[in-house]
Amino acid sequence: MPTSQWRHPGLTPRRSAGLTGYERVLARAGLTPVAGLDEAGRGACAGPLVVAAVVLDPGRMSDLTEVADSKALSPATREVAYRQVMRSALAWHAVVIPPADIDRLGLHVCNLTGMRRALAGLACRPGYALTDGFPVRGLAVPALAMWQGDEVAACVAAASVVAKVTRDRIMTALDASYPEYGFAAHKGYSTRAHMDALGVHGPCPEHRYSFANVPGVMADRAVARDMVPSQGSAAGDPAADRGEWPYG
């Protein structure tokens, strides 16, 4: 077999290994512990971006019966998965990046910075890191970017659960301060109900002005306001007193 096609049988994850395959292969290579990194809130137009790093205890991975890509889990199941991660993690750390930083620095820059901060905030130093979707420079440890990593690696799935549950709790708490937007229901994503509320009330400090739909809704409101006839007029105008439009 040509050298370029040869793979060490002990260092090649098998499809049948499930979510823990990559961690087990990296452990056999001496690259432990393994940290998974993922974020929640990239696509939302309101609320923070939350980035999480998780290092799982290799001896407790069988306890992660509900852990999977957080987007594929119901809210109730995510809460169960979150508790499982808390019990099974050697270390975890979540970074919350506010909308003002996203507007000032850009979403991708905040995402990369958040992953570096989340990894640096772990109580133990990882021997390797797995990131979801794209490579991250400056992690200070060897790392691999994995396409749909939250679907194929347990530590990345765990990080996705921690990031998602942390962010959902933040958005539910923000609902008490800004009840008119319904943050507890849509978590800041661009649903029809959210856009309708944004059109009526305008943006609040938790909205991301760098996202096109936020200034877009503001522009639509301005156009609509300019098209509404003024109800005021010169003093003594009987039409104005009756609330009528006096110009035909």
Are 10 and 28 within 8 A, CB to CB? yes
The residue whose two tokens read 């990239």 is 42
> What pLDDT shows up at residue 241?
35
pLDDT, one tens digit per residue, over 30-42 is 998 999 999 999 9
210 vs 74: CA distance, rounded Å: 30
Which secondary-structure segment (H or E) carries 160? helix 154-177
245 vs 135: CA distance, rounded Å: 61
Residue with the bigger pLDDT between 8 and 50: it is 50
Are 80 and 67 within 8 A, CB to CB? no
What is the token pair recorded at 185?
């229901």
37 vs 34: CA distance, rounded Å: 10
**pTM metric for this prediction:** 0.82
pLDDT, one tens digit per residue, over 117-149 is 999 999 999 999 999 888 999 998 999 999 888
7 vs 4: CA distance, rounded Å: 8
> What pLDDT shows up at residue 88?
93
Residue from 159, 103, 108 nearest 130 by CA: 159
53-64 mean pLDDT: 91
